[in-house]
Amino acid sequence: MDWIPIKKSLENYSVEPNLLDYEETHRTFSWSLVVEELQGSSQAQGLNIANIAVDRHAEGVKANHVAMRFIAPDWTVRDFTYSNLKAQTNRFANVLLHLGIVKGDRTFVLAGRIPSLYIAALGTLKNGSVFCPLFSAFGPEPVFQRLDRGDAKVLVTTTSLYKQKVAQLRERLPKLQQILLIDAEEDMGEGLLSLPKLMVEASEEFATVPTEAEDMALLHFTSGTTGMPKGAIHVHKAVYAHYITAKYVLDLHSNDIFWCTADPGWVTGTSYGIIAPLTHGVTSIIDEAEFDANRWYQILETQKVNVWYTAPTAIRRLMRIDIEPRKHYDLSQLRLVHSVGEPLNPEAVIWGQEKLGLPIHDNWWQTETGGIMIANYPTMDIRPGSMGRPLPGIEAAIVRRHEDGTVEVIDKPGVDGDLALKPGFPSLFRGYLHEEERYCKCFVGDWYISGDLAARDADGYFWFVGREDDIIKTSGHMVGPFEVENALMEHPAVAEAGVIGKPNPMIGELVKAFVSLKPGRQPSEGLKLELIGFARQKLGAAIAPKEIEFQDNLPKTRSGKIMRRLLKARELGLPEGDLSTLETN
Ligand code: ATP
Ligand code: MG
């Protein structure tokens, strides 16, 4: 927990932050106040995410405000106002209704970040059915696994994705009744329908199917970083968490332009790429193209993005290339930058401060928690390397599990343990689909055990140590890979590092680091020794890596997380396990 804080100053902050007094808000927070704020007197009429996100604004002063702006790869821009979005999502809900898709049925979408995906997501919710996104770069087998395990009844996709990935699976998916093709002018056979045709025929009027707070709304598969992806179930009530986290952490204000770079195939891309910004009536930017540093800076500049939510993997890619963003781009509108998905190295926070003029705000959460749980806030000093402090309404603790099934809360600062959350907040998952036992195992005593290890400092900031599965036991020490990776990242030659424990008869496990180098740096024995020496100086000999191997690209999930389990399996010649989410290019 070595840190030099980045002191907060609101001098250049163009709005009044929503969360002015963290301690006070924490103390007085209650979820019923959020319900009141969002729904007022209409609470008795049930709850539907899409109504809160879209219709509430379409029927008010925001009707003609741009809700979503899509930027196509060729830079063509398509805008949808809240009113357009209401009409389109109503049409889609009618399409499902006419096809006999009812409350609780699962609608999957396999598509890039194009308008139809977003319309289908929100229209599905209006119809009372369950939205389940699939990342468009999945191969046929991962698509099959999820459609099958998720009991898909409808799939929305494009003709080419259908031909490449789904056509050969249909016989194995007897429950899949309808496939709606986003770009087909005409129907293409039984159960293979033209979505544009159905949309034209459908009415723009739709009375949202009554859903209750506890009705299933979203099914999200986890990233598969540690093993086979799990299908996490979320309910309509999760919207309260989407809303309040976007208020306090993202600090959204009514006229903001917000850009979440995540694909809806991952939970961040749905919770914060679709739902949360709409609940605040802001304009969301959606880039249909893939990562490109210059393109991204150009989007920040030309769209005048105020709040930007991205991931460590993207930030490390920006850090790797030699662009001085503030020299070449006007980023004066940018107010806040956030990151989630993986540990954010202190180097990256500081890079933000130096190169973007803004520190990067790390936050922590999981598919299972549905929304941000621990975060850095605009009004709070940042301790680079820390995930920040729990949201108002969220009780987080470091705990130790005992063999007798009891859980002890560790009050002492600086001690590693399980990062646990007190259940009872609205966006906590309600199950792993068809895996009841696995779900039950996550709850011990009064706590939800996240599977991550962390420590808390004396001021209540949480520090990530590692995933339970990745912790290395070496010479009597428990070493979190993050600590070692951070130390290596401080070396000017290192672009990225992934650290594992390799069984060793003398010391239990030996710390081994896989390192990718910055452009222009060449691997050599000399550099290996230099890196080992560099890490020793920072970490001490017991924790520093004893072996280093250079790799051009570390294996990552498609959502950009380093797959340490795969580095380890390959190192040890063990089976590689589920690779459905492995990035292959
Ligand atoms: P699987 O559960 O299938 O192995 P996954 O855990 O990577 O995949 P997600 O739910 O997408 O799937 O990711 C959540 C995990 O990502 C967290 O449990 C944590 O390990 C990591 N993570 C997310 N944000 C942060 C952060 N700010 N700092 C450190 N780790 C983070
Ligand atoms: Mg997980």
Give the Cα separation of 553 and 582 in Å (integer): 12
Ligand 1: which atom is nearest the Cα of residue 561? 7
Q: Does residue 2 lie in a domain region?
A: no
Closest Cα to atom 12 of ligand 1? 223
Q: Count CB neighbours of 407 within 10 A.
A: 18
The single-letter DSSP state of residue 6 is: B
Domain with residue 565: its CATH number is: 3.30.300.30
User: Residue 364 Cα, ligand 1 centroid: separation in angstroms?
Assistant: 8
518 shares a domain with 494: yes
Domain that holds residue 540: 471-572
Q: Does residue 195 lie in a domain region?
A: yes
Ligand 1: which atom is nearest the Cα of residue 229? 3
Q: Dump pLDDT digits (tens) for 9-47.
A: 777 789 999 999 999 999 999 999 999 999 887 666 789
% residues pLDDT > 90 (the chain): 87
Q: Does residue 463 lie in a domain region?
A: no
Q: Dump pLDDT digits (tens) for 144-170.
A: 999 999 999 999 999 999 999 999 999
User: Residue 484 Cα, ligand 1 centroid: separation in angstroms?
Assistant: 18
Q: Dump pLDDT digits (tens) for 289-307.
A: 999 999 999 999 999 999 9
Q: Domain ends where: 397, 428, 456?
A: 456
353 shares a domain with 477: no
Q: Does residue 581 lie in a domain region?
A: no
Domain with residue 319: its CATH number is: 3.40.50.12780
327 shares a domain with 242: yes
**What's the gap between Cα 271 and its chain centre?**
8
Tally of CA atoms within 13 A in the half-sphere of 343 that contains its CB:
30
201 shares a domain with 176: yes
Which of 345, 432, 452, when mutated, tests ligand 1's pocket best, judged by the most ligand atoms within 8 Å of its CB?
452
DSSP string, 405-463: S-EEE--STT--EEEEE-S-STTS--EETT-HHHHHHTEETTEEEEEEEEEE-TTS-EE
Q: What is the mean pLDDT of the chain?
A: 94
The model's confidence at residue 477, banded by pLDDT at 50, 70 and 90, is confident
Q: Domain ends where: 456, 485, 518?
A: 456
Closest Cα to atom 31 of ligand 1? 342
% residues pLDDT > 70 (the chain): 99
Q: Does residue 354 surpass a pLDDT of 90? A: yes
* Residue 223, ligand 1, Cβ within 6 A: yes
User: Residue 58 Cα, ligand 2 centroid: separation in angstroms?
Assistant: 36
As for how many domains the chain has, the answer is: 2
* Residue 387, ligand 1, Cβ within 6 A: yes
Q: Does residue 466 lie in a domain region?
A: no
* Residue 464, ligand 1, Cβ within 6 A: yes
Q: Does residue 585 lie in a domain region?
A: no
Which helix (H) or strand (E) segment holds residue 287: the answer is: strand 283-287
The model's confidence at residue 559, banded by pLDDT at 50, 70 and 90, is confident
- Tokens (6 digits) for 351: 């890079």
423 shares a domain with 535: no
Q: Does residue 558 surpass a pLDDT of 90? A: no
Q: Domain ends where: 456, 480, 510?
A: 456
500 shares a domain with 414: no
Q: Dump pLDDT digits (tens) for 368-386.
A: 999 999 999 999 999 999 9
* Residue 115, ligand 1, Cβ within 6 A: no
State the residue for tokens 């991204």: 296
State the residue for tokens 């790390």: 362
| pLDDT for position 584 | 77
Give the Cα separation of 579 and 224 in Å (integer): 8
Q: Does residue 462 lie in a domain region?
A: no
- Strand partners of residue 258: 284, 307
* Residue 448, ligand 1, Cβ within 6 A: no
* Residue 231, ligand 1, Cβ within 6 A: no
Closest listed ligand to the CA of 559: 1
Q: Does residue 209 surpass a pLDDT of 80? A: yes
Give the Cα separation of 367 and 344 in Å (integer): 18
| pLDDT for position 476 | 81
Q: Does residue 1 surpass a pLDDT of 60? A: no
- Tokens (6 digits) for 93: 């809900």
